[in-house]
Amino acid sequence: MKRQSVLILDDEEGFRNELKEYLDDKVFKIYTAGLPSQAFKILERNNIDIAILDIRLPEMDGLSVLQKIKQKYPDIETIMMTGFGEMDYAINALRLGASDFFNKPFKLSEIGNAVSRVSKYLRVSKEIKSHNGVNGKDIKIVGDSKAINDIIELISKVAQSDDATVLISGESGTGKELVARAIHKLSNRKNNRFIAVNSSSIPEELFENEFFGHKKGSYTDAKDDQIGLFRAAHKGTLFLDEIGDMKYDLQSKFLRVIEDKKVSELGTHKEFPVDVRVIAATNHDLKRMVKDKLFRADLYHRLNIFSIHIPPLRERMDDVPLLVEHFINEISKKAGKNITKIDSKVFDKLKNYDYPGNVRELKNMIERAVILSDNEILEEDCFTSFAFLWEKEKRTDEFKDEILDLAEIEKAHIKKVLKMVKFNKSKAAKLLNISRQALDRKINKYNIM
């Protein structure tokens, strides 16, 4: 495995040497600089993965250095340090894209742990983005929100647990199959088949035939032997989308195969061993369905050994710019067009739309616009079919002096509470009567810090 490179920029020679010695092992390759000008020369000549920057520096302050790094080297993860403990520095650093912030003095183990966290994220993120899916399809989980980073980390963990069933939940269009494919491609099963099937698309009378297979002559139209989906996915992964739509009476048969790891084809009593990882997905509330006796509790608990929830796009709007850029590049390339930009007015509308159809809806919008475009820029007239993008603007014009958007009201209230407690998140979460994790998600969603 390639060693990751870390740049330490601090004008105190003793401190940077101490930190270098602490981090300088077989995992990291360390570079040090006392001046920003020295740091930029190192960045030009080497592939740096992580930069640790002091705020107070000669030549220019650390925030300016951070901003320049993010502009020229956006993939470098940064950790900031200061000996002055001023909250404004921390807020500005995080707004500019810093991964973490430390006030001196701190324990070397604390920043060491932060570097390890960032290092792990970089490895997993690059690995996922570099893998190709079946049939040449790229698996790219696009986004830089906390939600997406958390999902990437969960994917990396469960991929190594080769047999654990996974339940992926989320609204339609959020990318559940994409996550399932990423798990498969990072697992030891990656060289075997990934078979995706929509549970609701198989009629009840064909369920056993499709999943378990049949022998020739087992029924009138069975003119040849046919192996079922479980045997076809042997040593690989079977992905069942919309598992909540599977008929209740069929769920016990499905559970029995998962538990016994054996299938019996129609027309024979012979059992065939199957080694299949099952990943299921749903846009339903399975807990509620279990309570209402619409879904078997034993199957739910068997599938839910490891769960991943994908939040809707409206809850991670920070990912929209990256998704827009990704889809423009991907779709225009396939269409043989050289589209590189999008009209700023349209872009603003895309960043503020709530996407009931989630990522799939955004992709469809970009795809239609690319097809209509005859220029190198996606202009407003390419989006005329999506009049709803401008509806919010028309509605708010009627009430210019009032804030009617619930999200804006919530954002303003959270900012007010954070300022009240001097940005102590634990205190703020308590006052808001939500968990600290929920507060972090909202801060990320509204780009407050």
Q: What is the 3-class SS of the chain, one letter each residue?
A: CCCEEEEEECCCHHHHHHHHHHHCCCCEEEEEECCHHHHHHHHHHCCCCEEEEECCCCCCCHHHHHHHHHHHCCCCEEEEEECCCCHHHHHHHHHCCCCEEEECCCCHHHHHHHHHHHHHHHHHHHHHHHCECHHHCECCCCCCCHHHHHHHHHHHHHHHCCCCCEEEECCCCCCHHHHHHHHHHHCCCCCCCEEEEEHHHCCHHHHHHHHHEECCCCCCCCCCCEECHHHHCCCCEEEEECHHHCCHHHHHHHHHHHHHCEEECECCCCEEECCCEEEEEECCCHHHHHHCCCCCHHHHHHHCCEEEECCCHHHCHHHHHHHHHHHHHHHHHHCCCCCCEECHHHHHHHHHCCCCCHHHHHHHHHHHHHHHCCCCEECHHHHCCCHHHHHHHHHHHCCCCCCCCHHHHHHHHHHHHHHHCCCCHHHHHHHHCCCHHHHHHHHHHHCCC
Which band of pLDDT confidence, cut at 50, 70 and 90, is reported for residue 399?
very low
State mean pLDDT over 31-51.
Answer: 92
pLDDT of 289 over the 90 cut: yes
Same fold, 4-126 and 146-309: yes
Q: What is the mean predicted confidence (pLDDT) over 422-446? A: 81
Position 313 confidence tier, pLDDT thresholds 50, 70, 90: very high
- Class of domain 406-446 as given by CATH: mainly alpha
CATH of domain 323-386: 1.10.8.60
Res 271: pLDDT: 83
pLDDT of residue 367: 87
List the domain boundaries for the chain: 4-126, 146-309, 323-386, 406-446
Structure confidence by residue, pLDDT tens digits, 82-117: 876 666 677 777 777 787 788 877 788 888 888 887
In the chain, the percentage of residues whose pLDDT exceeds 90 is: 26
| Confidence (pTM) | 0.59
Residue 391 or 387, more confident: 387
pLDDT digits (tens, 9 = 90+) for 402-414: 555 677 778 888 8
Is the pLDDT at 296 greater than 90, yes or no? yes
Q: Which residue has the higher pLDDT, 390 or 113?
A: 113
What is the residue-averaged pLDDT of the chain? 82
Architecture of domain 146-309: 3-Layer(aba) Sandwich (3.40)
Q: Mean pLDDT over residues 423-446, rounded? A: 81
Q: How far apart are CA 278 and CA 292, in angstroms?
A: 24
Fold classified for 4-126 = Rossmann fold (3.40.50)
Q: Give the pLDDT band of residue 301 (cuts 50, 70, 90).
A: very high
- Answer whether residue 309 shows pLDDT above 90: yes
Look at 52 and 94; give whichever has higher pLDDT.
Answer: 52
CA–CA separation, 218 and 25 (whole Å): 64
**Residue 291: is its pLDDT beyond 50?**
yes
Check whether 176 has a pLDDT greater than 90: yes
Q: Is 238 a residue whose pLDDT tops 50?
A: yes
pLDDT tens per residue across span 331-359: 888 888 888 889 888 888 898 888 888 99
